[in-house]
Amino acid sequence: MAEHEAVLRKFQKELNSGIVSLVLLAILERTTEPLYGYQIAKRIEAALHADADAGTPIKQGTLYPVLRSMEVNGLLTSVVEPSVSGPPRKYYSITESGREVYSLWLQAWTRTRDFVDSTLEGNVG
């Protein structure tokens, strides 16, 4: 199956680029405290605990550009705080605008997921 690895990687990458924003917003939408990048990555890993062998489909390095882009778009806000154990940390919170977008994206995800699943279940042809 080695010859299929490249197309599979491309598929997974496209899939991830569609969901990483949703997963990030979901985490920040329900936390009561601001989180920095590493904490968000850890929460994503924790969500996968029951299925650790499958591996995290979202790599930590892909989180940071998404966090920055969401802040530029007004979905997140951040404060930089000093850290005793290293460089200052950037803590992110969701904005009111981010909550509205999350609610719309959640609907879009549910619709798309159900569409894909109904197609895969053979309600076609």
Binding residue (CB under 8 A) for its own copies from 59, 79, 83, 115: 115
10 Å CB burial of residue 40 (0-12, 13-18, 19+) is: buried
Q: Taking the CA of residue 47 as centre, how many other CA atoms within 13 Å lie in the half-sphere pointing to its CB?
A: 13
Binding of residue 72 to its own copies (CB under 8 A): no
User: Smallest distance, Å, CB 85 to its own copies?
Assistant: 22
User: Smallest distance, Å, CB 89 to its own copies?
Assistant: 17
**55, 33 contact by CB (below 8 A):** no
Which 21-60 positions form the footprint of its own copies (CB under 8 A)? 21-23, 26-27, 30-31, 43-44, 46-48, 50-51, 54, 57
Helix (H, G, I), strand (E, B) or coil at 82: strand
Strand order in the sheet with 76-83: 35-36, 86-94, 76-83
User: Smallest distance, Å, CB 91 to its own copies?
Assistant: 14
Beta-carbon count within 10 A of 68 CB = 15
Beta carbon nearer to its own copies, 8 or 79 = 8
Q: How far apart are CA 125 and CA 47, in angstroms?
A: 36
User: Interface with its own copies by CB under 8 A: which residues?
Assistant: 1, 3-4, 7-8, 11-12, 14-19, 21-23, 26-27, 30-31, 43-44, 46-48, 50-51, 54, 57, 73, 75, 97, 100-101, 104-106, 108-109, 111-120, 122-125
